[in-house]
Chain A
Amino acid sequence: MNSKIIWTCQAIAACIIGGAGLLKFMGNPTDQLLFAELGMEPFGRYLIASLEVIAAALLASGIFAAPGALLAIGTMLGAIIAHATVLGAEVQGDGGLHLVLLVTLLLVSGPVLFVRRRELPLVGSTL
């Protein structure tokens, strides 16, 4: 039961973050614009895209879902900082959709990380 919920969370998280990563790789114009605004275009975009795709793969793998969730949360924190300091809440008049996805991602990866915290490498045994 519990594990079904967690798997659902993982799946949602993997979809959101994997999708976002792929879009960035493919050079989605909005992303190009955003990363230009951050002064990270194009290298930073590819870097973040790789991290996102890796996170999605880890989340989907099951056994590495815990580090995957941590990585997802890490990149999302970065994104939130970007929105808070540079980009603002609304991106290209999307009505805050970007931000909603970010928050959703945090809301689903949080429980995954919490439930699976003991599976984290190195620190897991103390949590």
Chain B
Amino acid sequence: MAAMSIQLDRVSRIVNTALPSSVLVFGALGSNVSFYFHFGTVTTLLLSLLNLYYRHGQRDHALLRNFGLLAQARYIVESVGPELRQYLFASDLSEKPFNRAERAEVYRKAKGTDSTAAFGSQKDFDDSSVRLLHSAYPLDHEELEPYELRFGEERGCASSYTIDKPIAISAMSYGALSAPAVRSLARGAKRAGIPMNTGEGGYPKYHLMEGCDLIFQMGTAKFGVRNDDGSLDDSKLAELAQKPEVKMIEIKFSQGAKPGKGGLLPKEKITDEIAELRNVRKGHDVISPAHHKECRDASSTVSFIRRVQEVSGLPVGMKLCLGRPGEFTELVREMKRQDSFPDYVSVDGAEGGTGAAPRSFMDDVGMPLERGLATVQSILQDEKVRARLKLLAAGKLINPARQIAAMAQGAQAVYSARGFLLALGCIQALQCNANTCPVGLTTHDPELTRGVDIDQKSQRVERYVAALMKEHEELLASLGCRNHAELRPEHVWGALSLVAPEVASPAQIVPLNRISQPAREMGVRA
């Protein structure tokens, strides 16, 4: 796939110049050799007009805008795909990380053409995937209650932040993303009324342009708020926190796609502007340190979180991919000891996405979301501090059912990064690290970013969120829950069995009696 798209890039450039020239060539041959050549003149003329429209007229399809007619091949294969694939190619469900069926759902929601499907599910029902358990007494729509979540209320934070939809755009930096991609997401977030995380890319110049609510992410390199030695510059942070758009601060400890390793931005993607915004040199990969300078153990970590809370005056969260549960338990106990908690913890699953990461980290390090989330939830419960903070989750939560399942397992809101990239038209070309993204989302090549029409794409984000929310409501009603807070693990078939006793230290084993009655009767393993 990668090879094919790079080819597409070159070949399409040839086609785009060859096509208008061939009109002239055919025209000359038709007039001088044989009139029959004018069949070619007319055909190439019509194709050139179509190509012109694709490249400079329409704004719906970034791929066509970037590559013109040649990219049309992709749409043709897509439209005759089901028939072809049945015999020739990969099945609808065999692509990774998101299969075609999953992506198609987001595309439809984002384009506002979500409709029903027929005949039956495409999913492999023999696997252990999450399934929601509906109630025998579903609710009517009128019985549902609006969603609301207030960050910072636990410690009476003066500038607490309230969201009214359980969805946010997960961290993606300017750097990983192109400027128009960032602006499309930011404008979309504004239109949809959800917050957007800035990612660890330093001063959020493009994020700020659209006026959406922002969660400023502070990565281990602290781009945007660092001293030269990599420690936190309190005054820069305080200044940034003053911006009305910045509603919360997120300290990134680790990320599912590369847990235990710092952020990574390949040198191909470092432009003058990015070098300036991050205060780094061009021509080198930018590799963030694996940990915050200030955080060497539980006690210094908790103090650091408190310091960020005090300096910024905003709700402060921590993002982590769960590693050894015992360490997290220790951290929570330290929070209790210091009586100081982050305002939220966001659990990133090992299946999470990234702009660039070593494959072994992407594939083989960290706890997947279901297990990680359930473990964090049970540790917080066992330590009796669940009410002291909010819990968020991310990791392939791109469709309503997965989001609801995560919320049933303890998350109070969900983050998605790649769901929103798909909504912007990501075709999963898997080139985020190479500056060659064919749809212009994760590249700084002006030839490719020109395909991204900010207004169009922000509308897709808005529609995607609206469609998700509508289905959340429908699912809640069918599960018999009036609001998201009523979701419980027993609404998910197979939940809790996911916290395998051997991964938790003895204190965190989920007691058997916690498994709800119905779940146990269904034969769920403890």
Contacts and interface: CB of A to CB of B under 8 A. Distances in A.
Interface of A: 38-40, 44, 70, 73-75, 77-78, 81-82, 85-86, 122-123, 125-127
Contact of B76 (A73, A77, A122, A127): A122
Nearest to A123: B72
A77 B58 CA distance: 24
Given A122-B76, A123-B72, A74 B38 contact: no
A40 B46 CA distance: 23
Interface stretch (B27-35, B337-345, B460-468): B27-35
B506 to A, nearest CB: 58
Given A39-B34, A74-B46, A85-B31, A126 B39 contact: no
A81 B40 CA distance: 12
B54 interface: yes
A68 B434 CA distance: 44
Which among A44, A74, A123 has the greatest number of chain B C-beta atoms within 10 A? A123
A44 B38 CA distance: 12
Which among A73, A82, A127 has the greatest number of chain B C-beta atoms within 10 A? A127
A81 B36 contact: no
B35 A40 contact: yes
A40 B36 contact: yes
B312 interface: no
Given A126-B61, A126-B72, A86 B79 contact: no
Contacts of B75: 122-123, 125-126
A77 B44 CA distance: 12
Contacts of B72: 122-123, 126
B367 interface: no
A78 B79 CA distance: 31
Contact of B39 (A73, A78, A86, A122): A78
B35 A74 contact: no
Given A44-B36, A123-B72, 18 more contacts: A39-B35, A70-B46, A74-B42, A74-B46, A77-B42, A77-B45, A77-B46, A78-B41, A81-B27, A81-B38, A82-B35, A82-B38, A85-B30, A122-B75, A126-B54, A126-B58, A126-B61, A127-B58
A86 B60 CA distance: 41
Contacts of A125: 75, 79
B64 interface: yes
A85 B36 CA distance: 13
B42 A123 contact: no
Which among A75, A85, A86, A126 has the greatest number of chain B C-beta atoms within 10 A? A126
A75 B42 CA distance: 8
Interface string B406-428: 00000000000000000000000
Contacts of A73: 46
Q: What 5 A-B pairs have minimum CB-CB distances, sorted nearest first?
A: A38-B35, A77-B42, A122-B76, A78-B42, A74-B42
Contacts of B34: 39
A74 B344 CA distance: 63
Contacts of A77: 42, 45-46
A77 B53 CA distance: 19
A80 B27 CA distance: 13
Contacts of A123: 50, 72, 75-76
Contacts of A70: 46
A78 B35 CA distance: 9
Given A123-B50, A126-B61, A78 B38 contact: yes
A75 B38 CA distance: 10
B110 to A, nearest CB: 15
A122 to B, nearest CB: 5
B381 interface: no
